[in-house]
Structure 1
Amino acid sequence: MDILTDWLTDVIVFILLAAVMDALLPSNSFQQYAKIAVGLLLLFVMLQPLWKIFSVDAEQELTKWADGVMTNEQASVITVDKQSSLENSRELFILKSSEQQMKELVQEEVEQAFQRKIVEVDIKVSSWENSFPESIEHIDVYVASLSAGETMKPVEEVAIQSQEQEEEGLENKIASFLSQKWNISEEQLNIHMVEEGDSLE
């Protein structure tokens, strides 16, 4: 808008000056040349906006445009990263809370029935829906023997496996027990017998 105002001002001022010059010049052949010169100058003044447009540094303007596009894309990437980070944090919290609750739900019964304790529960989720697990791929359960001070007397009503039972058979029994308690198929349960202090990786 400022450019248009300046341009109109220049044109009006030039026309006024041309009119004054035309009035002051004598009526002879020189006046004709003067009018031609004034006409050319007026044409130049009127075309000034076009000169400004064509004199724009195209490379500089392209660089500014590219910088603007990059800034917008970077802002979008940052927003997506933040959203993804929040979703991952929420999923991790839900997963860890579920693992802890599942462990606490059966810990005492596992100790009484099998003289074993659950060291860790690791849930592997195959897909998520709105930050909630939609389907579980499998659950790794790490089980260790009770120490001497932790050994508990078995409850009569609960089926107990003897200390001489093979480890594989014990794993199957624990898997069957947890399958009923957690309402999940045995095929999705992986029981790992570990020693206290072993790495669970």
Structure 2
Amino acid sequence: MIDLLKVWVTNITVAIFFITAVEMILPDNSMKKYAKFVLGLMLIVVIINPIIKLFDKDFDLNSYSSKATSYMEGSNQAADINKYKDINIVNTTENFKINLQKECITNLEETYPENKYNADVDVVYDNKNGAFNINKVEIEVVDSGVQNIKNIKIDTQSVDASNKNILTNTQGNQIKKLLSSKLKISNDVITVYKVNS
């Protein structure tokens, strides 16, 4: 028991000398506080290691650290990183799409407040360039008034009741020009429809 206590006190003393030496050679910058934090964690581990061994005889800090190291170097980590990267890309793409749609509607309502607008944007992430591409922007200009009856195609598999009229007049071109300049995209990917409310 005395030998264990002697080894414990020696380990704490060596750790304190090591920490003091490292702190003396660290430059005075923002990294110093992070280094002190890590060194403090090391000192805590050295202090509590024998206490943990009293409760768990099989506890070995080296085995836990080697397992963590092997996980970081193993193929599981690469698979996990790719999985989380894919999930992050999907979530970011969806958020980007929603924010872009809101921005389109806000810009149109500020510039042309006489109408209401809906937006649908198709955004795809380009892995090669690491950028988001806007493939399609569809703007619906909601016109109040009596709704026109459109042809309804009834099929055994689907029903198509589309009431979208593509705007190719001045209003449609002005909307395209506005969004093209705001979003920095080509006019070709923007389509403007007029729908009755």
**Fold shared, TM-score > 0.5 on shorter chain:** no
TM range (shorter): 0.3 to 0.5
- Please state which structure has a larger fraction of its residues in helix: 1
- From the CA coordinates, give the structure whose radius of gyration is larger: 1
Q: TM-score, normalised by structure 1?
A: 0.40
